[in-house]
């Protein structure tokens, strides 16, 4: 049986697509954060990406509402930008308060 560190160092099988998905989410979050004005970028982050839908979490309903107003602008901006690692057709905003 392989140790966890061996699996991470040389991903294969089920673990490989999972790690690739995590890397894609990290890339998308970096682009997402760079596309948002401050302080909104401090309260929202990419949670998942599935079937061309970017799932984004905001830490309160106030930030979620502000982000929802920006969704059309972000989608238009990203459709013209060829640096995205994948195609995004929709942004889904979820509110998940930060734990203290």
d(C-alpha 82, C-alpha 33), whole Å:
17
Token output for 78 = 């990203």
Residues 36-88 pLDDT 10s: 999 999 999 999 999 999 999 999 999 999 999 999 999 998 888 777 778 89
Whole-prediction pTM value? Answer: 0.82
* Tokens of residue 70, six digits: 């920006």
d(CA 74, CA 79): 9
Do residues 32 and 54 touch, judged by C-beta distance below 8 A?
yes
Class of 4-95 per CATH? alpha beta
Question: What would the DSSP string read from start to end of 46-67?
Answer: EEEEETTEEEEEESSHHHHHHH
Q: Could you report the per-residue pLDDT of 8-21, keeping only the tens digit for each?
A: 666 666 678 888 89
């Amino acid at each position: 049986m392989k140790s966890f560190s061996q699996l991470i160092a040389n991903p294969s099988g089920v673990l490989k697509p999972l790690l690739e998905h995590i890397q894609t989410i990290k890339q998308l979050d970096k682009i997402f954060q760079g596309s948002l004005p401050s302080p909104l970028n401090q309260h929202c982050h990419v949670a998942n990406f599935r079937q061309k839908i970017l799932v984004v979490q905001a830490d309160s309903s106030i930030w979620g509402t502000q982000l929802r107003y920006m969704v059309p602008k972000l989608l238009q901006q990203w459709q013209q930008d060829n640096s995205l690692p994948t195609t995004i057709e929709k942004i889904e905003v979820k509110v998940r308060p930060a734990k203290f």
